[in-house]
Amino acid sequence: MSRAPSSAAGPGAGSGQGSAPGKVILLGEHAVVYGHPALAGALSQRIFVEVAADAAGPCVYLTSGESAPAELVSAFGAMAAELGLGASLRATVRTELPLGGGLGSSAALGVALARALCEAAGQPCPPGRAAYLALHLERVFHGAPSGVDPAVCALGGLILFTRAQGSAPEAVVTLAPGRPLHVLVALTGIARGTRRTVLPLAARREERPALYDPLLSALGELARGGADALVRGDLADLGVRFDAAHGILAALGVSCTELDELCAALRRDGALGAKLTGAGGGGAALALAQDAAQARVLEQKARARGVQCFAARLGPEAQSG
Ligand code: PMV
């Protein structure tokens, strides 16, 4: 990692700011890659970006002074070029989200960069455009992303997302939960790249579609019904769906011992349901709580076991803009 040179350009003409929240996938990860729906929600933790002129650009630095990986810098350059901006730009990134933890940091960074660059270019950046531009970055981390992460990071709140397929356009339904949705996000501490689970699963499915396709469809059905349960405020229903989804994801080979044990412990602690969230293979687990008080109890119990975790409320109040 290189350090930022000290001659950072200050804000001025061509400068801009943007931010976006992280996310969790409640149901439907992996299945969403194959055209099934996924249920996702924004977190209150965000990534913030400032873009300013810098003759040494394009360059991307964290506030710690660390330079971002080369492929991320080139995705930033491609985004700037698409907006008609020159290459002489620096982005400075501040994050409240753990990076590479399955909480949407790459999508949040993509949406925040899109917003900052659009401001620098004097162009509007509605959610659809922010999510589209963020795909430049998503492709670096994901290969062929479904688009669910940038969609929820750009819109905020809770959504049921289905990717574009053939002539059918992408479908995004914004959901209002019938009851407040309190969860615990628990980190395994195992960093993983999304490609490391998505691509091997694609290869297994290619070899045995008759085995894998019904499992992926079942995950999509759990997400579809989960959206209905969420709107009805039927948390018990949603909790069973979390447990069922985790079982299927484990059968698909995208879980790991640490995630399985973490979910089992969260259920023993009283969670209504627990599952891996995102690509799996490490990253984070998501537990559903009855209410805010139970989410805090789950947090205390997990912390007492040395688990890094935080309680969160998902819903329209976790805004994006
Ligand atoms: O990168 P993650 O952990 O948020 O996972 C993305 C969700 C997947 O369904 C596994 C991949 C995708 O492109 O939708």
Task: Going residue by residue through the chain, which has 321 residues, state the pLDDT in tens, using 9 for 90 and above.
Answer: 444 444 333 344 579 999 999 999 999 999 999 999 999 999 989 999 999 999 988 999 988 888 888 888 989 999 999 999 988 999 999 999 887 778 988 899 999 999 999 999 999 999 999 999 998 888 877 777 899 999 999 999 999 999 999 889 999 999 999 999 999 999 999 987 777 899 999 999 999 999 999 999 999 999 999 999 999 999 999 999 999 999 999 999 999 999 999 999 999 999 999 999 999 999 999 999 999 999 999 999 999 999 999 999 998 765 555
Mutate to test the pocket of ligand 1, among 24, 25, 190, 199 (most ligand atoms within 8 A of CB): 25
Residues 152 and 104: beta-carbon distance below 8 Å: yes
Residues 259 and 282: beta-carbon distance below 8 Å: yes
Nearest to 102 by CA among 187, 196, 183: 187
Q: What is the whole-number distance in angstroms between the Cα of residue 29 and the centre of ligand 1?
A: 6
C-alpha torsion sign, points 159, 162, 168, 170: positive
Angle between helices 235-251 and 257-268 (to 10 degrees): 160
Secondary structure letter of residue 5 according to DSSP: P
Residues 282 and 256: beta-carbon distance below 8 Å: yes
Pick the atom of ligand 1 nearest to 194's CA.
Answer: 1
Q: What is the whole-number distance in angstroms between the Cα of residue 94 and the centre of ligand 1?
A: 22
Q: For residues 196 and 217, what is the distance between their CA atoms, to the nearest angstrom?
A: 22
Secondary structure letter of residue 125 according to DSSP: -
Using a 6 Å CB cutoff, which residues line ligand 1? 25, 29-30, 32-33, 102, 104, 142, 145-146, 148-149, 194, 198, 278-279, 283
Residues 31 and 220: beta-carbon distance below 8 Å: yes
- Does the active-site annotation cover 149? yes
Query: So what's the pLDDT on residue 321?
Result: 59
Residues 43 and 19: beta-carbon distance below 8 Å: no
Pick the atom of ligand 1 nearest to 30's CA.
Answer: 9
Pick the atom of ligand 1 nearest to 144's CA.
Answer: 13
Mutate to test the pocket of ligand 1, among 33, 36, 139, 149 (most ligand atoms within 8 A of CB): 149
Q: For residues 275 and 255, what is the distance between their CA atoms, to the nearest angstrom?
A: 9
Judge residue 114's burial from the number of C-beta atoms within 10 Å of its C-beta, 0-12 exposed, 13-18 middle, 19 or more buried: buried
Q: Is the pTM of this model over 0.85?
A: yes
Residues 158 and 175: beta-carbon distance below 8 Å: yes
Residues 249 and 200: beta-carbon distance below 8 Å: no
Tell me whether the omega of the peptide bond preceding residue 58 falls within 30 degrees of 0, making it cis.
yes
Choosing from 149, 228, 237, 269, which is the catalytic residue? 149
What is the amino acid identity at position 1? M
Ramachandran assignment for 280, one of left (phi > 0), alpha (psi -120 to 50 degrees), beta (any other)? left
Residues 108 and 21: beta-carbon distance below 8 Å: yes
Pick the atom of ligand 1 nearest to 280's CA.
Answer: 3
Angle between helices 209-232 and 235-251 (to 10 degrees): 160
